[in-house]
Amino acid sequence: MDHQKTMSSKETFPDAFTEFEEFDNCPMCHGANFKLYDQPTVQLCADCGLFFHSPCPTQQEIKRSYDSGATYEAWSHAIDNHKRQFRVRLNHILPHAATGRLLDVGMGSGLFLKEAVAAGFEVEGTELAEPGLEAAHEFGFAVHNGQLTDIDFGMRRYDVISMWHVLEHVPNPGTVLKKIFELLNPGGVFAVAVPNESKRLILHQLNRLGGVPVWDWGWGTEIHLNHFFPQTLRKHLQKIGFEILDFGMDDVYPDTSLRSRAIITGHNVSSKIFRWNFGQDMYFICRRPL
């Protein structure tokens, strides 16, 4: 992990975080020009626009939380919806890459890899938490255990790399994106989805009037360390060298009602026209130039 120092809490609880760390540099652009945006931990980088938490739980603590199985248990009750979401996400990739070797970073339960295999891809995944690793082995997928930046891939390269709602969880998003660029073959495609903080920032401002905080995390929940605006992520992807092929609202609705389809369509139209949307989540499809 980049430029950090570790602290301990004074008390120890089996179901609570006990070890925390602070960042001396922005985890995306590595600059030192950031300041506290909102109590108690949300920092804003003036150089790249990333919101990030410092202090935050250490990676060992975060892994301990995910290994408890609480987060995966919550996901297990919506498997059918997740399958539909992953089919939609795969359809964003197929116009740009229809075959080849695919790596899914933070593969979770492996549902996206199942969709990719059915479409004809040769697949691998990476995963940190034990419940995800167990699921991957049950499906028979090749899986690399650990953080992407700690894994030695040797000379292995990929035609597609996907990262569905993982970048917001990693402690070093800038370093992760650089490694993904290096792991792609020339002409390779990178697909990434993250929460869109355009909407959440408005809700956060309303929180000052007494609403519920939207940037909190806790034991057994999804732990978001980074928060992105569309332009924040777009500029950093382009800075690394990616060509942006597509941008839109990531479909995370649990239903296929006319209302949800209309919302997604509206946000995707604004994405194409303005390169911005206020949808709940967003995706980018990128290419490493030839």
CATH number, domain containing residue 219: 3.40.50.150
Answer for the pair 115, 87: CB distance below 8 angstroms, yes or no.
yes
User: In the chain, how many domains are there?
Assistant: 1
Task: Give the burial string for 215-250 (b: 16+ CB within 10 Å, else e).
Answer: bebebbeebbbbbbbbebbbebbeebebeebbbbbb
Range of the domain at 236: 78-287
Q: Does residue 185 lie in a domain region?
A: yes
Q: Does residue 57 lie in a domain region?
A: no
Distance (Å, whole) CA 173 – CA 113: 22
Residue 165: DSSP 8-state: S
Taking only the tens place, the pLDDT of each residue in 17-43 is 889 999 999 999 999 999 998 878 999
Distance (Å, whole) CA 189 – CA 33: 32
Q: Does residue 164 lie in a domain region?
A: yes
Distance (Å, whole) CA 2 – CA 24: 9
Q: In the predicted model, is pLDDT for residue 284 greater than 80? A: yes
**What pTM value is reported for the model?**
0.90
Percent of the chain predicted with pLDDT > 70: 88
Q: Does residue 223 lie in a domain region?
A: yes
Q: Which residue's structure tokens are 């519920």? A: 212
Q: Does residue 21 lie in a domain region?
A: no
What separation in angstroms does the CA of 204 have from each of 23, 38, 95, 115, 214?
Answer: 23, 10, 36, 36, 6
Q: Per-residue confidence at 11, pLDDT binned at 50, 70, 90?
A: very low
